[in-house]
Structure 1
Amino acid sequence: MSLLPFFPGFLYVCPNLPGLCGVYWCKPARLTPPETPRRSYRVRKMNNRGRTPGSAGRTVRPSVQQNGLTMRKRDMTPTRNTNLVPNASFIGDRFLGVRLDQDELDHANHLMTSKLYNKENLNNSISEPNSPEKKNVESEALKQMMRHKSAGALTDADDGDRILCYKKNLAPPPAIGYINQVLYSTNSVINPASSVKKSTRHVKETASKVLDGPGLTKDLYSRHLDWGCHNWVAVALGHELYLWNTETCVIKNFFEDNAPTSEGMITSVRWSQEGRYISLGYASGAVKIYDPNRPKTTEYVRELRTLRVGGASRCASIAWKKQGVMTCGYKSGDIVNHDVRVAQHVVSSWGGDNGHSRDITALEWSSDENMCVSASSDRTAKVWDGRHTRGDGVVQDPEPLFTIDEHTGQVRTAQFCSFRDGILATAGGINDGTVRLWDVKRQCQKIRELNVCETGGVGGIVFNRPYSEMLTASDDGFLRIFRFNANYKLSHEIQASNEPIMDLVGSPYDEVLIGDMEETLKVFQLFTVDKSTNILDRTAPKNVGLNVR
């Protein structure tokens, strides 16, 4: 058998060739070109330099001792830490990062091209490649990248940037016929805030101060207390007058056992609006004006003048105007306006056939001093025109603007609302126990009737501006707070005394004072305002202009 060319990948049988009998497999020849010399060959070549004789022919694979194990270079995860790999400048392969999020790459590119890596911030000097300036720039860029990732890529704004800026008239108008897809509306039907219950304020139901008032007259139709604008309280105890400073707790007897007894008992007490003078009404009908600032060197030196009206008896109510006009109500039902600045002090009167037929129980001026309301035991309340107090040719005994005659009992008190212009409140006495609200701007139209006390009358009314509330004191010893809303709801009910409350006065701030038939005086802090939302001037001087001596 002649020699035949061997083709790789075929099986040959040689039975006739001596020494070659058998079956042979021809290995396929390599069809691909030889590999390019790898880098490891160059590494071995360089490592063999300077090797001692006898070690030629052996290939020493670079290895690293880590955690007690010998690991080859190709078995290790690529790292940039040059401390673990000797000759790291010649060993290693390319490091391919995993692109998890394209947004992160875009943000990194933005940081690289932003002001953090401009030419002014980068330090490219060879002497200081890792200067603090460069490290700070890199640290700031890293913080922004981490913040961008942790924030869920909500915004790429820098710290301090305004991401929300509300401006007017910047939104383009919608197209004609466009219908908004409403997800939230301020309509009360779907307003989620309408179902949230508003928190109610806390009211202190116990008295903050309690004082004894021996000799306090048990008369439901006299005014024994008044709280001045300078925080001085005047208390009439029989024939004596006491002044009490609620801040310093100083109590002084105004007359010091020299009270005049010829005029009888004190039936009414009232401070002037500026708090400089105090007027006292007596059972004899006389009205005396005193100046507490004047030094007392001799008897009655503080008395400025005495006002008398012929045929008048028992002055049970007094009201002051800012212009020095004092309005007094008498037992006969007459109402007289006195100008204390002139010798002929009587300037006008409201009475006669158009006035009241029985004693006057309350007098109050409106905040603008255009109207004055009077309450009487004849079961009526009348509203008078305030212009009829000048005495310049005005007709005497004019007709009242309005007459309220719906009460079933005596009208014990009346008060204008301090926070709603034109609202008038009148309270009934025994056998009535109601408070009726009127709108004097609408021909004295009745707004609401509130049943306050079922076993007696209402002795006092105080309005509170910060909370828009009305406080009442009644013969059953309760203080009741009504909110001035659509329903005039009763919000709080406090048992202040076990006896009927005769007097109720309010302070210039957040306190009220009551006087009851137990001959006690009690101070309640019912209208304390939160300091964060306080609209009252608590820092105003309370005792300026009044120095009782």
Structure 2
Amino acid sequence: MTTTGCCLENFDHTPSESASFGVWERKRKEHVDKTSKTPNKTPQGDRFIPNRNMMNIEVSRLHLQQEIPGKENKQQNNTFQDALLESNSEWRKNFFSSSSSSTCHHYQSALASSLLQNSYHEERSQSKILTFKQKAPKPQEGYVNSLKVLYSQNVLPISEQRRRMIRHIPQTPDRILDAPELVDDYYLNLLDWSHENMLAVALGSSVYLWNANTGDIQELCNVPQDEMICSVSWVPDGHHLAVGTSMNDVQLWDTHRGRQVRKMHSHSSRVGCLAWNGPILSSGSRDTTIHHHDVRIAQHHIETLRGHEQEVCGLKWNVDGTQLASGGNDNLLMVWDNLHSSQPKYRLDQHLAAVKAIAWCPWQSHLLASGGGTADRTIKFWNTTTGSCLQSIDTKSQVCALLWNRHDKEIVSSHGFSQNQLIVWKYPSMVKIAELTGHTSRVLHLAASPDGQTVVSGAGDETLRFWRIFEAAESKLDSSSKTWRSSQKSMMKTCNIR
């Protein structure tokens, strides 16, 4: 222990002979001998460990502080050179005491100038970088954000946003009416609501009108007992009603006077669907054809559309009257481009069952929704400009009717077995908003009130149920109703039924 301690004590000054030949010295010599020899192959290592014994740290620090060409820092470099000429301890004392604050100041100034493109001492009101404050700096007087209109033009008032978030859809109908002899036939269209708040419903061989304002009921017309009414459709002015019968004809009735205006016979089988486009009435029949009737002239039959192979059970014009959609028992959905098309623009065959449920989007004229029967059970959305299917939703039951919300991006569908329900969907996410049950048979027909808020459903259980489904702000409701009335009046100025 004594000898070892003595060796360690004299190591830095006069090492002994025995210490110089210690174990560690022999290992060092062996390592030098090995590294001095030329290796057989080039080392493949990826690390470089510098030999710091050959480096002078103080000289290197001096070189780092020397003048850089083009920079005005001669005075600062002279200060560092003078400091480095002193002793090591004195240099450290001066550097950390006097030069540290100056160096830190210049470093912060350079950093701020680089990041903010401005001097460190100048105020920059529109930037929070390197600024520690509780509140953001105020903009200059008169400053207007150019993006304010872009991000605020579609923002709803807070009161309306809150009202929409908590919108409640009642699960029970507001009113239930008996509808005896309402035919349980999937291919017929027996319900329509006029813009004068008159509901027309076909019960067996008769057509009844129910005044939603007063609750009065009147029988408008009837056909022989062995025949039946197959379809009803209000003309846009609200004064006349088109009636399709199983006697292969289409009748026009003046509801104010309670008399028949004319009868149009052109089909060879029952007329199960009707659709108006201004003064033009389109009718779909079991004879697989679609006829266009101009009610202003004596020779009313102006065009015949052929494309379906079985009964035409769905027929709707889009909002601007440029395209007609038809659905048939042949599982086909067709889009016709104008009144005089000999061939359909698109022949869409993706449904696997009869296509009766057809609804055009009220705010986008080339967006079409269609629903399939029992073997299909899907709601499909189509772009009728390109003919592409945008999406398809499996509803798990027969789709009987579709109806869009005129005030918001929603759509309601009615179904058959097994729930016989109505479903309110949010478009385009197709998330279920509400599911309304109560009917005991398939819900075949849907119609909307003039204000677009109440939906009436007709089912095979011989009842009519009125649901408060949709809701709109008063301002939007007034503007939409005025726009609709003005457009209908302008469209019907040239419509003189003969």
TM-score strictly above 0.5: yes
The 1:406–1:537 alpha-carbon spacing in structure 2 relative to 1, beyond 3 Å, is: closer
Which residue type is aligned with residue 317 of structure 1?
C
Q: Distance in 1 between matches of 2:313 and 2:301?
A: 21
**Preserved CA contact (<8 Å) 2:292 2:339:** no
Instruction: Give the drift of 1:236.
Output: 0.5
After TM superposition, the structure 1 = structure 2 runs for residues 135-174 of structure 1, keeping only pairs within 5 Å, are: none
- Which residue of the partner structure matches residue 264 of structure 1? 227
- Tell me the equivalent position of 1:280: 243
Q: Which of 296, 303, 328 pairs up with 1:341?
A: 296
- For residues 390-445 of structure 1, the C-alpha deviation after alignment (integer angstroms, 9 at most, x for no partner) is xxxxxxx611111110011111221111122311001001111110001112x111
Distance in 2, Cα, partners of 1:407 & 1:461: 15
CA-to-aligned-CA distance 1:52-110 (integer Å, 9 cap, x gap): xxxxxxxxxxxxxxxxxxxxxxxxxxxxxxxxxxxxxxxxxxxxxxxxxxxxxxxxxxx
CA distance in 2, matches of 1:277, 1:308: 18
Asked if 1:484 corresponds to 2:439, the answer is no
SS of match in other structure, 2:128: coil
Distance in structure 2 (CA, Å) of the matches to 1:287 and 1:361: 15
SS at match of 1:249: coil
Going from structure 1 to structure 2, the CA distance change for 1:321 and 1:176 (only over 3 Å counts) comes to farther
- Label 1:320 to 1:541 Cα distance change in 2 as closer, same or farther (>3 A): closer
Aligned equivalents of 1:536 and 1:482: distance in 2? 25
Paired residues of 2:320 and 2:365 also in contact (CA < 8 A) = no
Percent identity (aligned): 26
CA contact (8 A) 1:423 1:439 kept: yes
Cα deviation digits, residues 131-164 of structure 1 (max 9, x gap)? xxxxxxxxxxxxxxxxxxxxxxxxxxxxxxxxxx
Give the superposition deviation at 1:537. 5.7
Q: 238, 254, 263: which one pairs with 1:291? A: 254
Per the alignment, residue 212 of structure 1 pairs with 178
Q: What is the match of residue 462 of structure 2?
A: 519
| Corresponding position of 2:263 | 306
Structure-to-structure mapping, 1:63-78, within 5 angstroms: none
Pairwise mapping of residues 497-508 of structure 1 onto structure 2 (< 5 A)?
497-508=439-450
**Conserved? CA contact 2:223–2:229, under 8 Å:** no
2:276 is aligned with what amino acid? W
Amino acid across the alignment from 1:248: T
Could you say which residue in structure 2 is the equivalent of 1:111?
A: none
2:273 is aligned, of 314, 317, 338, to 317
Instruction: Assess if the C-alpha contact under 8 Å between 2:381 and 2:392 holds in 1.
Output: yes
1:253 Cα shift? 1.3
Cα deviation per residue 1:306-358 (whole Å; 9 max; x = unaligned)?
11115x20100000111x1110001021001011111111111110xxx0000
Alignment correspondent of 1:435:
379
Q: Structure 2, unaligned stretches of length 5 or more?
A: 1-115, 119-123, 130-134, 137-144, 148-154, 156-160, 490-498
2:363 counterpart of 1:419: yes
In structure 2, relative to structure 1, the CA distance for the partners of 1:263 and 1:325 (3 Å cut) is farther
CA distance in 1 between counterparts of 2:343 and 2:438 reads 40
Q: CA deviation at 1:514?
A: 0.6
1:370 paired with 2:370, answer no
Separation of aligned partners in 2, 1:203 and 1:280: 33
Report the counterpart of residue 71 of structure 1 in structure 2. Answer: none
RMSD: 2.9
1:378 is displaced (CA, Å) by: 0.3
**Residue in structure 1 matching 2:435, options 493, 511, 514:** 493
- The aligned residue for residue 49 of structure 1 is none
Change (3 A) 1:214 1:450: same
Query: Matched residues in 2 for 1:334 and 1:246: separation?
Result: 35
User: CA distance change for structure 1 residues 507 and 360 in 2, over 3 Å: closer, same or farther?
Assistant: same
The residue identity in structure 1 corresponding to 2:459 is: D
Distance 2:171 2:482 in 1: 26
Query: Structure 2 CA distance, aligned partners of 1:538 and 1:440?
Result: 27
| Rounded Cα–Cα distance in structure 2 between residues aligned with 1:536 and 1:521 | 29
In the superposition, the TM-score normalised over structure 2's length comes to 0.63
CA distance in 2, matches of 1:241, 1:291: 13
The answer for the alignment partner of 1:469 in structure 2 is 410
The count of corresponding residues between Structure 1 and Structure 2 is: 336
- Helix, strand or coil at the partner of 1:216: coil
1:331 to 271, 274, 286: 286
Cα distance in 2, alignment partners of residues 369 and 411 from structure 1:
21
The residue type paired with residue 306 of structure 1 is K
Long gaps (5+) in structure 1: 1-174, 187-192, 297-301, 389-396
Query: Could you give the per-residue CA deviations for residues 232-291 of structure 1, whole angstroms, max 9, x where no partner exists?
Result: 000111111110011111111113xxx331882100011101112101101121111111
Is contact 1:466-1:535 (8 Å) kept? no
Flag the structure with larger Rg: 1
